[in-house]
Chain A
Amino acid sequence: MINFIIRRILQAIPVIWGVMTISFLLMNVAPGDPVRAMVGDYYDDSTLETLREEMGLNESLGMQYVNFISNVCKGNLGKSFMTQRFVIEDLKQKVPFTLQLALGAMLIAVPMGILLGVFAAINRGKLIDRILIIISLAGVSAPVFWVALLLILIVGIQLQWLPPTGFGGIKFLILPAIALGTRSMAMLARTSRAYMLDVLKEDYIRTALAKGLSQRVVLFKHGLRNVLIPLITIVAADFGSYLSGAVLTESIFGWPGVGRFALNAIMKRDFPVIQGTVLFMALIFVLINIIVDICYAWVDPRVREKMIYE
């Protein structure tokens, strides 16, 4: 297993390098000028030129790239052009908030989604199943900003149960977590229902029931376990995307996460911040993919054996 993890980490290095290189090239060929965004409306050409020189923007693209990669290798992501703060410091402040939101969304989405899916599956064809299908379809289709605004209007303004926006405790986390997690929840419900229906037709389920095992044991120990692999894939993909920034949710709820940080940097052509956030996102996806592979092995003995064999 350790060999497998080491191998995956080594495989990830070219992936991260590729992501960094592509994002570096894209940002440098994209139109726009970070220096103008820095100085505002008052400037003269000599100020712009001095700043470009100081920021290393006058060097050739190749030299800028070499400097950039060598700094990243030293763990130095540089300073933001706009704020003059170290990118790593800002990321340190923002990552915990992003993690909080992503975990909150997953804590709501995963148990609720799976439970609803299983519940719909065992009630196949009944009214409750149809209602749940419609709800999950709505959940998948509803844009996150619409769900967010609806939650603010109903829970925040009309009922006043929770503060409409903000951060700093569980009461602030609930609404953005629901808004962000709704789509995942609906997706998980639909997927778990579909797979559960297939599994419930299997002989081993019938056998287990015939042995006199309780429905709960049959469903959760024998049924759900076989549904987990596709569910893990969905959870991992969503969790990865939440960690790399839920821009809309963060903007609407005033959540100070990585997504807004990256978006603001893109708008202002703040290259060091863009590179820093892209690197962070790439690392997150690589890490999650490794964790997913480990989870597959944990859930499915066949995968585990294959890993050991390899």
Chain B
Amino acid sequence: MDYDKSHKFIGMFYRIFFIFLYILIVGGCGVKPNSKQLNLIMPGDPKNIDPAYATDVRTGQLCTLLYDNLVRFGNGAELLPGLSESWEISEDGLKYLFSIRDSVLFQDGKILQCSDIKKSFERILDPKTKSHRKWLFKNVNGATEFSLGNSESVTGFSCEDDNKLQIELIQPFAPFLGFLAMPSASIIYVSKSGKIVGTGPWKLKEWIHDGHILLDRNSDYFDGAPKLEYLKIRILPEVLPRTAEFVTGYLDIMEVPESEFSIWSKDPEWSPNIKYQDDLNIFYLGLNCSRPPFNDVKVRRAVNYAIDVQRIIDKVKNGNAIPASGPIPPGLIRPYPPIKYGFNPQRAKELLALSGYADGLEIELWQSQSSKLLYVTEAIQAQLEAVGIHVKIVRNDWNMYSKAVTEGVPDMYYRSWYADYPDAENFLAPLFESEISERRWTRYSNKDLDKLIDKIQTTTDEKQRQIYIHEASSILIDDVPWVYLWHTRTAYISQPNLLGWSPSLMFNAEKYIQVTKND
């Protein structure tokens, strides 16, 4: 059968192809980024807009845009007035008196009063709310009784008048102001229709879960309305599409991916737009101190000596980190302690021999599933192998990994810790306090350290606190329940026409009020 006259088919095929091409081009024409809209990105969907459930960074960031706190984080570690224009702390550190701003409006027009703040805080403690952040206020007088349903209100929150709120603590707690700047301490009220209403600079317009969050500016914002009209947060889990969005102008600010850092930083067109932020974090290897081999401090020190942290920073992290000497990041401990365990494989071998591991030992290093982390753990694996420690890397999804760490399964685990509030205490109590550490982390326990942490929490004199912080840090550097790896520095890149933005130290500091675009 001869089908030479198949040109009809060719014609049909081409017609379809050109119609398709036409749709492609015409559809694409006129797709321009909106100049009145700030375009941001998140790698995953926030959980909720209810601050009572704000336990993750993304939900916290969204809450910061929609709501306000009594105090807020500045660009650095400082605390600035938020809904309260000033505050006084009693000499004994037990009473906080806040002066609430006049004429602040909720986004539905209701005027903010002291009673709204009291109710907002009580809502977190209310057993009906089932908040996961009750611990924020556990040190407030009457909080426990209220959260157990044994009282009508929290006696520690009292309104002297519409503009004066007093918070009374059971015992002094130095980081308490920082707690009030956390997302779960956002001031909201629940309307009769069950809607959560805040006072923040942005109003929620549309939320397509796993797609985008679209916000409108709040023109009545007490601190001046945002300069741009809209704010769009795209949810994009993959790295390359984010880069594509940025290159094509659909994204205004992007965290430079580690894998692309050298490309962006060497590009003369883009490199001037890169901004760096030293992060308040610590990356570490947790060592299980409850059983051999890491119940022996000499082995823990040997591991610290065996790892060339600077080399990993240079090769894997593009130099965007500083080696850590202890758990507390620079800025929260002054002066920053010097590195005690430099790279010294010979010393590591000696210590291992002293502990009876001259012939080497085998351990498991656990990490979460991310392949990005594997670059680090494989480097560590190779360096430890050189001193006779044979490392098996175990990867699991976050949930299984996290459960295993809590149950003390791994010999060693790779993790990071980011500040919830800019205070050294945040890098000590939740990680090393014996009761918590034994139950959830490395099983390291030290009563002297517990006493110091207690003093750091209750001492309000900053000079004295720094002394205690150094003492606690020294204990942890000597006992090394972790391998202290690094504190990262994040590189951000913004569009050249974006003005009024610079990265902030705290994840929930930025409200994008002053950000604008050059047309």
Contact = CB atoms under 8 A, between A and B. Distances in A.
A94 B288 CA distance: 43
A37 B400 CA distance: 10
A174 B45 contact: no
A267 B368 CA distance: 11
A273 B247 CA distance: 35
Interface stretch (A6-14, A69-77, A118-126, A295-303): A118-126
Interface stretch (B2-10, B262-270, B343-351, B355-363): B2-10
Interface in A11-30: none
Given A119-B9, A122-B6, A163-B31, A254 B211 contact: yes
Contacts of A51: 130, 132
A310 B347 CA distance: 83
B492 interface: no
B475 interface: no
A175 to B, nearest CB: 9
B50 A256 contact: no
Nearest to A44: B135
A32 B244 contact: no
A260 interface: yes
Contact of B45 (A149, A164, A264): A264
Interface of A: 31-34, 36-45, 47, 51, 54, 82-85, 90, 93-94, 97, 108, 111-112, 115-116, 118-119, 122-123, 149, 152-153, 155-157, 160-167, 169-171, 174, 200, 205-206, 209, 215-216, 250-257, 260-261, 264, 267-269
A264 B44 contact: yes
A171 B210 contact: no
A149 B282 CA distance: 33
A254 B439 contact: no
Given A112-B16, A261-B210, A264-B45, A40 B55 contact: yes
Contacts of A90: 209
B24 to A, nearest CB: 6
Interface in B60-99: none
Nearest to A111: B16
B399 interface: yes
A156 B248 CA distance: 8
A84 B53 contact: yes
B210 A260 contact: yes
B241 interface: yes
A123 B6 contact: yes
B53 to A, nearest CB: 6
29 contacts: A31-B399, A32-B397, A33-B399, A36-B403, A36-B406, A37-B402, A40-B55, A41-B417, A43-B132, A47-B134, A85-B209, A90-B209, A94-B209, A97-B208, A122-B3, A122-B6, A149-B240, A161-B28, A162-B31, A164-B248, A165-B234, A165-B236, A167-B211, A174-B23, A252-B238, A254-B212, A254-B235, A257-B210, A264-B44
A157 B44 CA distance: 23
A93 B56 CA distance: 23
Contacts of A157: 244, 247-248
A88 B3 CA distance: 54
Looking at B6, B56, B420, the one whose CB has the most chain A CB atoms below 10 A away is B6
Interface in B223-263: 234-238, 240-241, 244-245, 247-248, 250
B12 to A, nearest CB: 7
Given A41-B430, A47-B134, A157-B248, A36 B402 contact: yes
Nearest to B52: A84
B250 A256 contact: no
B210 A118 contact: no
Contacts of A44: 135
A54 B130 CA distance: 9
Contacts of A166: 212, 234, 245, 250
Interface in B391-443: 397-400, 402-403, 406, 417, 420, 430, 439
A156 B3 contact: no
Interface in B170-215: 208-212
A256 B31 CA distance: 20
Nearest to A89: B209
A164 B130 contact: no
Top 3 closest pairs, chain A to chain B, by CB: A256-B211, A40-B55, A164-B244
A160 B29 CA distance: 9
Nearest to B397: A267
Nearest to B249: A160
Given A39-B55, A254-B241, 18 more contacts: A33-B399, A37-B399, A38-B132, A41-B430, A42-B132, A90-B209, A94-B210, A152-B244, A156-B248, A170-B23, A170-B27, A174-B23, A205-B1, A215-B5, A251-B238, A252-B238, A254-B235, A256-B235
Contacts, number: 168
A67 B238 CA distance: 37
B47 A83 contact: yes
B244 A153 contact: yes
Given A32-B399, A33-B399, A115 B13 contact: yes
A115 B9 contact: yes
A165 B50 CA distance: 29
A167 B235 CA distance: 11
Nearest to B207: A93
Nearest to B25: A161
A152 B241 CA distance: 7
Contacts of A123: 3, 6
A303 B45 CA distance: 48
Contacts of A111: 16
A43 B250 CA distance: 39
Contacts of B320: none
Contacts of A36: 399, 402-403, 406
A153 B439 CA distance: 48
Nearest to A201: B1
A132 to B, nearest CB: 11
Given A36-B402, A264-B44, A165 B210 contact: no
Given A40-B55, A40-B56, A115-B9, A264 B399 contact: no
A209 B235 contact: no
Contacts of A37: 398-399, 402
Contact of A97 (B27, B31, B211, B439): B211
Contacts of A215: 3, 5-6, 8
B310 interface: no
A37 B132 CA distance: 11
Contact of B400 (A32, A39, A165, A261): A32
Given A43-B132, A165-B244, A267-B397, A33 B16 contact: no
B153 interface: no
Contacts of A269: 399
Given A200-B1, A206-B1, A264-B210, A47 B240 contact: no
B233 to A, nearest CB: 11
A39 B184 CA distance: 12
A42 B247 CA distance: 38
B48 interface: yes
Looking at B16, B44, B53, B399, the one whose CB has the most chain A CB atoms below 10 A away is B399
A138 to B, nearest CB: 18
A15 B55 CA distance: 39
